Every structure is written in structure tokens, then in C-alpha cells.
Amino acid sequence: MSETRSAQAASVIRHADVLIVGGGLSGTMLAAQLLRQPGERQILVIEPRSELGRGEAYSAVELGHTLNGNAARMSVDPDNADDLTQWLTEYIAAGGWPESDQQHVPVSELFPPRGIFGLYAQQRLAEAQAHSHSTIEHIRAEVIDLQVDECSTRLTLDNGQQLRGAFAVLATGMFPATRTPQTTSSGLNAATVDPWDVEAMTQLDSQSTVLIIGSGLTMVDAVVSLEQAGHRGPIEIFSRHGLLPHVRRQPPGWADFLAEDHALCSPRQLVREVRRQCHAALDQDVDWQAPLDTVRAHIGRLWSQASEREKRQFVRHVRPWWESHHHRSPPLSAELVARLHGEGRLRIHAASFKGVESSASGEVRILLRRRGEQQTTLVTGAALINSSGIEYDWRRVDRPLPRQLLARGLIQPGPLALGIAAHVSGAVLDVDGHVSQRLFAMGPPLRGMWWESTAVTDVASQAKALAARLAM
């Protein structure tokens, strides 16, 4: 019966104006912006999940899994920075999220749960659809191949169906290193517990030792999950540099020193001046996060004008500190991590992960090399959580679509193999460097172009610009 349906699907080619590959936050914001464009067009969003607007990041259901930015920083409307604050005010007034009063701050400073933010994105998409002459449809499937000719793009889905559109957009979001299949050679995937799977964590002995690989924001979520699952045992965290995310605070304004001095461009110059500005802030009893937050608006410019050598210097020497200082933890989650660390239950180690050893006893055994040591160390625990972050190198992502795009020469790796190469308009560059007239990308796939291409405000701006380009 299923073979018959697949054959029928393969025999019919559906047509649309725009095909959006991926229906997480990136694809949803692009769809909403396209719906707001004048004229009529048909939009198909291909997303295997049952809902648009959530992706992996905003599918979390636990209230403890919150955004790492407050409401004032997370609007999906590039023309209204207060959009989430306004929506959240109405949502809370209508009885939603009664736990919000526990944060004791204005609505603009609240850190909403990821699941509620996903609902916000969905409602904004529904509103755009209700006032549009265009149509949108969610195709629940995975794109496994893509072809481009002079007049159109053609997608092949995992159910055998084919879609043809004037344009296709790669809004694939992030490929988590946590579960990318290439790690199975070390046995990592088979051994790990999902960082957001609270139900699975309830099956652990509450006093057992849990090992975590990676110390970024996914680790913070994993610790929250363990706490909500009732785990009260030791948590051992291992990461290459042993850095924890700083807590996000609400600092006062600070002079935009990079806007005043465009001569600051190399990583060394930037780091030196940022340190000077932060020390100046502390001397005035101002939070050091104030001057650091002004850097965010200039990252795209600084990254795009840097030489490849300077980019490599940044990635090798500055990136770990940039990540821990800029990608900060929401306050309640940071308080939990700090409390467990103070109690001695949570410990952070600077060590590189080297593999998993099989064990007949049911315990997890991992090999590590601690910083400053040459030999590997065997560490055991009852469970392992891989929070090692995102895989940006598409050559290492073992999914059908990236493999096919690379094999066909339709894409090439971006700078430093971060995402894929593209023109500033989002038009993808093929293996020969030609700018595609039909295939575009947005969001995390453009990490190599802009460095920061994952934040909500960044993606919202890209969505607006790309929608205007596709509607021409």
C-alpha cells in the first residue's frame, strides 16, 4: 500500500512560486515576509516536523528551557523591536504563562520558554496568511535531492514526490553535532541521552553520575532537564577550553565605539579595544556587558571585510571566549548551574573528547585527553549527554540533501567551511563560483558569510530582504 502511494506521489509534479526547504524559525519567518509582499504567489514549505515555526530549538515543552535573550531582543519583526514584548504582554494578560511573575521583571526583560516563543512565531505566520492574497502550504516530508535549471528548481522528497518552483530557498536551520550520524564511528550517538528529553532522564538513578560533552548553552539546557527530571547526583562537564557561558544581564547603554572608529578591524585590534572599553566600564561601576553588547551590530561588517587569515585567527584564538561572553545563559538557568557548581555537584573540566568504549555493565565509558596532558583518561558514568553544539561544515553533515547538493556542485563550502558560500543577496554560489539565479539560502547556512547568522534578529532581517528579492 505504501509503495503504491509513493509511486503515485512520484508521478505528479507539483508547482509553486517559492519552495522553502525547512520550516523551522528561518523558513517560517521567510514565509511570513513573502505573504506580506504585494501580489499573489504560491509558497510551499517542506518540513518533516508536524508544525511550522518550531524546528528543534522551539519544540521544547519544558518551561525551564527558555530563550537565552530577553523579549526585547527577540522580535521576529525586523521593523518592530517590541513585537515579542507586545505579543507576550497580551499572552500573559489572557492567562498564558502564569509562571512569568516569578522572574519579577518587566515583560520586555522576561526570558520566555522556547515553546511559547514557537507559538508566537506560529501566530505571526497565521496573521500574515490571513491578510495575504498569497497561499502557503506545509508539505510534511524531507527534501533528499534538489536540481536547478535555467527556468526553475526541482525538489525530490523522501516520499518520492517532486516539487517544481521558480525559486528554492535553503532555510535548513542548524544541523546539531549532537546527533549527526558521522559520530557513530565513536559510538557517541548510541550512548547519549537527548539534552531536552526530560522523560528519558527520569529513568536514570537520581544519584548517578552524568557526563556531559560540551559546555555551551545546550549544556545549560541539559542541566535544566536533569534538574526537572529529579536528578540529584554528580554532573561532570568536559569541554576543550572549560568555559561556561556568562549570565545574560540587562546592562545600561554604552557609546558605540566601533561606529566611531572603522579603523578597528583585525581580531587583535578588536580584542584589545573591547578589553579597554570593558575596563573603562568597570572603572565607572558599569556592567562590562554594556560595551560588549555594542559590538554585536558590527560583527557582520567586521567578519565580511576580514581576510581569511584574520578569520582563522578569530576562530582559533578568540571564538571560545566570544561564545562564552556573547552567547550568554538566561538568568534562571545560570543560577541553577552556579548553585550546582557551588555545591560541588557540577564540575567543569578542560578536556577533549576522544571516543566511547563499549561496556557490558551498562555504564558509559568515555575517553578524554585533559588539557596539558598527552595520555587519554577513561571516565565512567551512568549516562552521557552530548552538548557539543552545531555542525556548520556541510561536508560532514550526513543528510541526503547536503550530500546531493555537494555532489551536484550546486553549492560549495563557505569561508572556513562554515555553512555554504553565497552572494550578499543570499543567492548560492556553485562549485565554480557562479551566482545562482534560482537557489538561495538564509540563516545558519550563511554562518561563513556573516559569522552571526543564527540570532532571531539576524534571521528576521535576512528574511525581509530575501522576500523582497524573490517577489520582484
Q: Give the range of the structural domain holding residue 268, as residue numbers without chain letter.
A: 257-326
CATH of the domain at 439: 3.50.50.60
Q: Examine the fold and report which residue of 391, 411, 435 is the final residue of a domain before the chain moves on.
A: 391
Claim to verify: residue 277 and residue 374 sit in the same structural domain: no
Question: Residue 107 domain-assigned?
Answer: no
Question: Residue 142, by phi and psi: left (phi above 0), alpha (psi -120 to 50) or beta?
Answer: beta
Question: Residue 75 domain-assigned?
Answer: no
What is residue 1's predicted lDDT score, i.e. its pLDDT? 38
Q: Examine the fold and report which residue of 340, 360, 391 is the final residue of a domain before the chain moves on.
A: 391
First-residue to last-residue Cα distance in the chain: 43
Question: Residue 209 domain-assigned?
Answer: yes
Q: How far apart are CA 279 and CA 285, in angstroms?
A: 10
Cα 235 → chain centroid: 25
Cα 3 → chain centroid: 36
Reported as a single tens digit per residue, the pLDDT across 263-291 is: 777 778 888 999 999 999 999 999 999 99
Output the nine-digit C-alpha cell for 361. Answer: 555493565
**SS3 track for 397-418:** CCCHHHHHHHHCCCCCECHHHC
Task: Evaluate whether 288 touches 281 at the Cβ level (below 8 Å).
Answer: yes
Reported as a single tens digit per residue, the pLDDT across 73-106 is: 999 999 999 999 999 999 999 999 999 998 889 9
Q: How far apart are CA 448 and CA 341, in angstroms?
A: 35
Q: Which of helix, strand or coil describes residue 218?
A: helix
Question: Residue 84 domain-assigned?
Answer: no
Residue 151, burial from CB neighbour count under 10 angstroms (0-12, 13-18, 19+): exposed
Bridge partners, 169 (sequence order): 20, 440
What values do phi and psi take at 177, rounded to 5? -60, -20
Output the nine-digit C-alpha cell for 108. Answer: 520586555
What is residue 181's predicted lDDT score, i.e. its pLDDT? 37
**Closest-CA residue to 439 (of 176, 166, 256, 249):** 166
Count: domains in the chain: 3
Claim to verify: residue 353 and residue 422 sit in the same structural domain: no
Bridge partners, 45 (sequence order): 20, 138
Claim to verify: residue 364 and residue 415 sit in the same structural domain: no
Claim to verify: residue 135 and residue 45 sit in the same structural domain: yes
Low-confidence ranges of the chain (pLDDT < 50): 1-8, 178-187, 189
What is residue 128's predicted lDDT score, i.e. its pLDDT? 97
Q: How far apart are CA 7 and CA 32, in angstroms?
A: 33
Q: Examine the fold and report which residue of 326, 344, 364 is the final residue of a domain before the chain moves on.
A: 326
What is residue 271's predicted lDDT score, i.e. its pLDDT? 87
Task: Evaluate whether 32 touches 463 at the Cβ level (below 8 Å).
Answer: yes
What is residue 302's predicted lDDT score, i.e. its pLDDT? 87
